[in-house]
Structure 1
Amino acid sequence: MLTLDRLSKIYANGTQALSDVTMGVAPGEIVALVGGSGCGKTTLLRLASGLEQASGGRVAVDGDIISAPHPDVGIVFQEPRLLPWLTVAQNIAFGVEHLPKAERDARVDEALLRVGLAGYGPRWPRELSGGQAQRVAIVRALVARPKVLLMDEPFSALDALTRASLQDHLLALWEAHRPTLLLVTHDVEEAAALADRAIVMQPRPGRVFKDIPIDLPRPRDRLSHDFAEAKRAILAALDGSLGNPHSSPRRISVPSGASW
């Protein structure tokens, strides 16, 4: 369980990025953080990863307080951030150097196979397309089998077709070991396609506005009525979080029997 308890963040210039954020993410659950600019989504992710320190409150994984980068918590950024002097296989294996070579190689080969890059291990990062590089970044984070994976808009720089393909690859990887996954996204369709819950944030300072269950079976039919209803629920909450008086917090029907 990933737990954020009364989390707040105030920067040195006095800007309050987060205020009293409390949420829990269950083992194996996928939660999407959605919200407008200034709602502190990326700050929250950095606090959860231990890359920044909170001004108040705490982050814990299975009761273990996170105050610095932790082996149980992986993170994927907007850019792949691959090391150019290492091959694809060496990049993926970078975080599991402590494992015996046979197990390390087996994990790398399995990960590349799952994302459609079998045989790409000897290649250099410069030889990859943007989508391929991001797939490598994702498997690099997952090959260590963290309990929690944090993702900061990992597909935002990609075209729509590549983005949808990588979302499917991500779910295939997640299915193997089912880490807890907390995903920051601006893409409402991405949230509806991937998440068990969408948490809509409210800006200035960032705080939780609405927690929306998305009770749809996987794989999800993006053309179905239920999928459209899930997107509509998230969009309505986003409008409310930004102060639209016609979309203030209210009950909105969510498909497949889920409730607010």
Structure 2
Amino acid sequence: MLAIQSLSKTYADGTQALAGIDLTVAAGEIVALIGGSGCGKTTLLRLVAGLDRASAGAVSLDGAAITAPHPGVGLVFQEPRLLPWLDVAGNVGFGLAGVPRPERRARVAHALERVGLAEHAARWPRELSGGQQQRVSIARAFVAAPRVLLLDEPFSALDAFTRKDLHGHLLALWAETRPTVLIVTHDVSEAVALADRAVVMRPKPGRLDETVLLASPRPRDPASPQSEAAARAILAALDRSLRPAAPRPAAAPAGNWW
């Protein structure tokens, strides 16, 4: 279980990026973080990944605190970040240096098969399309069998067709080992397609605002009444999150002024 407790982040210049984040993500659950620009989604992901230090609060995995990069936590960035001097198979297996070579080869081959790139194992990253490069990045994240997988808008630069295709590959890999997944997205349809719940964030400072449950079985038809209703619910929550918070009513006087 991934537990985020009273997590806050204030930068050296005084900017408060996050305030009082409380979120529990069950083993095997997929949670989408969605919100307007500047609400701290990526900052939250970096804190969970151990790439940054919180100003207050804590992140833990099965009760153990995460304060630095953790071997049980994988991360997929917006861009693939592949190593140009390694071929596709080398990139996928890069984090498996301590695994015996036959097992490493088998795991890499299986991951590439699952993302539809088995025939490209010996190609160089520069020879792949953007969508293929991101498939390699996803395969690299899953091949290490992480307990938690963090995805920071990994499909935002791709066209709608490629994005939908990668959603299918991601869910196929997830179904094998069922890691806990936390995905940052601006795309409502992506949240509906992938997540068990969408958590809407409010900006300045970033904090959790509303949660929309997504209970229909996957794969989900985006044109189904359930998906359309879920998308409307998320859009309405996003609209509310971007409105100024209503001021609290003034306290009534304790007694007559006279």
Give the TM-score band, short-chain normalised: over 0.9
Q: Deviations over 1:199-238 (max 9, x none)?
A: 0000000000001110111111111111100000100000
Q: Deviations over 1:39-96 (max 9, x none)?
A: 1000000000000000000001111100000000000000000000011101111101
Aligned match of 2:194: 194
Give 3-state SS (helix, strand or coil) of 2:158's partner: coil
Aligned match of 2:147: 147
Verify: 1:208 aligned to 2:215, yes or no. Answer: no
| Matches for 1:8-19 after TM superposition, within 5 Å | 8-19=8-19
Aligned match of 1:171: 171
Q: What's the RMSD between the two structures over aligned residues?
A: 1.1
Q: What's the offset of the Cα at 1:119? A: 2.0
Q: Distance in 2 between matches of 1:142 and 1:88?
A: 14
Aligned match of 1:32: 32
Aligned match of 1:235: 235
Q: Which has the larger radius of gyration?
A: 2
Structure 1: segments with no counterpart, 5+ residues = 246-260
Give 3-state SS (helix, strand or coil) of 1:215's partner: coil
Q: Distance in 1 between matches of 2:4 and 2:205?
A: 16
Q: Distance in 1 between matches of 2:244 and 2:153?
A: 25
Q: Distance in 2 between matches of 1:117 and 1:138?
A: 11
**Residue identity matched to 2:120:** Y
| Matches for 1:1-260 after TM superposition, within 5 Å | 1-243=1-243
Instruction: Calculate percent identity across the aligned residue pairs.
Output: 64
Q: What's the offset of the Cα at 1:22? A: 0.3
Q: Distance in 1 between matches of 2:3 and 2:80?
A: 27
Give 3-state SS (helix, strand or coil) of 2:13's partner: coil
Q: What's the offset of the Cα at 1:188? A: 0.2
Q: Distance in 1 between matches of 2:211 and 2:230?
A: 12
Structure 2: segments with no counterpart, 5+ residues = 246-258
Q: What's the offset of the Cα at 1:36? A: 0.4
Q: Distance in 1 between matches of 2:175 and 2:80?
A: 22
Q: Distance in 1 between matches of 2:218 and 2:183?
A: 17
**Residue identity matched to 1:232:** R
Q: Distance in 2 between matches of 1:175 and 1:219?
A: 11
Q: Under a length normalisation based on structure 2, what TM-score does the superposition of the two structures give?
A: 0.94
Q: What's the offset of the Cα at 1:244? A: 7.0
**Residue identity matched to 1:172:** A
**Residue identity matched to 1:55:** S
**Residue identity matched to 1:36:** G
Q: Distance in 2 between matches of 1:192 and 1:219?
A: 10
Q: Distance in 2 between matches of 1:42 and 1:204?
A: 14
Aligned match of 2:255: none
Aligned match of 2:256: none
Could you list the structure 1 runs, at least 4 aligned residues long, displaced by more than 2 angstroms after superposition.
none
Q: Distance in 1 between matches of 2:157 and 2:38?
A: 20
**Residue identity matched to 2:135:** R
Give 3-state SS (helix, strand or coil) of 1:95's partner: coil
